[in-house]
A and B are shown apart, each in its own frame.
Chain A
Amino acid sequence: MAYFIQQLINGLTLGAIYGLIAIGYTMVYGIIGMINFAHGEIYMIGAFISVITFLVLQAAGIGFVPLILVVMLIASMLFTAVYGWSVERVAYRPLRRAPRLAALISAIGMSIALQNYVQLTQGARVKALAPIISGGVTLFEQDGFAVRLSFLQIFIIILTMALMAGFSYLIDRTPLGRQQRACEQDRTMASLVGVNVDRTISTTFVMGAALAAVAGMMVTLYYGVVDFFIGFLAGVKAFTAAVLGGIGSLPGAMLGGLLIGLIEAFWSAYFSIEYKDVAAFSILVLVLIFRPTGLLGKPEIEKV
Chain B
Amino acid sequence: MSEIRIKTDAPEASFRDVAKDALLTAVVALVLAVPFIGLKSDSVGIALALQTRWAEMFAIVGAVVAGRVLISLFRLRRVQPRTPQPQKRAGAKELAAAWGGKHIVLIGVAGFAFAAALPFMPFSSRYTIDIGTTFLIYVMLGWGLNIVVGLAGLLDLGYVAFYAVGAYSYALLSTELGWSFWVCLPLAGLFAAMFGVILGFPVLRLRGDYLAIVTLGFGEIIRVVLTNWVEFSKGPNGISGIPRPSFFGFSFAREAESTTFHELFGIAYSSQHRIVFLYFLILALAGLTNWFTLRMRKLPTGRAWEALREDEIACRSLGINPTNVKLSAFALGAMFAGFAGSFFSTRQGFVSPESFTFMESAIILAIVVLGGMGSQMGVVLAAFALVILPEWFRDFQQYRMLLFGVAMVLIMVLKPTGVMGSREPTIRLHKKDQGSAAEAQPETAR
Contacts and interface: CB of A to CB of B under 8 A. Distances in A.
B366 A109 contact: yes
Given A34-B445, A86-B28, A278 B221 contact: yes
Contacts of B43: 125, 127-128
Contacts of B413: 90-91, 94-95, 106
A108 B366 contact: yes
A47 to B, nearest CB: 11
A105 B414 CA distance: 13
B409 A109 contact: yes
Contact of A120 (B41, B402, B408): B402
Interface stretch (A13-21, A50-58, A167-175): A50-58
Contacts of B206: 288, 292
Interface string A184-197: 00011001100001
Contacts of A129: 48
B247 interface: no
A98 B412 contact: yes
B408 A304 contact: no
Interface size classification for chain B = 35 or more
A243 to B, nearest CB: 6
B300 interface: no
A55 B48 contact: yes
Given A33-B446, A113-B402, A274-B228, A102 B36 contact: no
A95 B409 CA distance: 10
Contacts of B210: 243, 288, 292
Task: Choose among B1, B35, B36 the residue with the greatest number of A CB atoms under 10 Å from its CB.
Answer: B35
Given A102-B416, A130-B47, A284-B214, A32 B35 contact: no
Contact of B313 (A97, A197, A300, A304): A304
Interface in B397-446: 398-399, 401-402, 404-409, 412-413, 416-418, 442-446
9 contacts: A35-B212, A55-B50, A86-B28, A105-B412, A115-B401, A116-B399, A191-B3, A277-B221, A278-B220
Interface of A: 29, 32-35, 45, 48-49, 51-53, 55-56, 59, 79, 82-83, 85-86, 90-91, 94-106, 108-118, 120-123, 125, 127-130, 187-188, 191-192, 197, 232, 236, 239-240, 243, 247, 272, 274-275, 277-278, 280-282, 284-285, 288-289, 292, 300, 302, 304
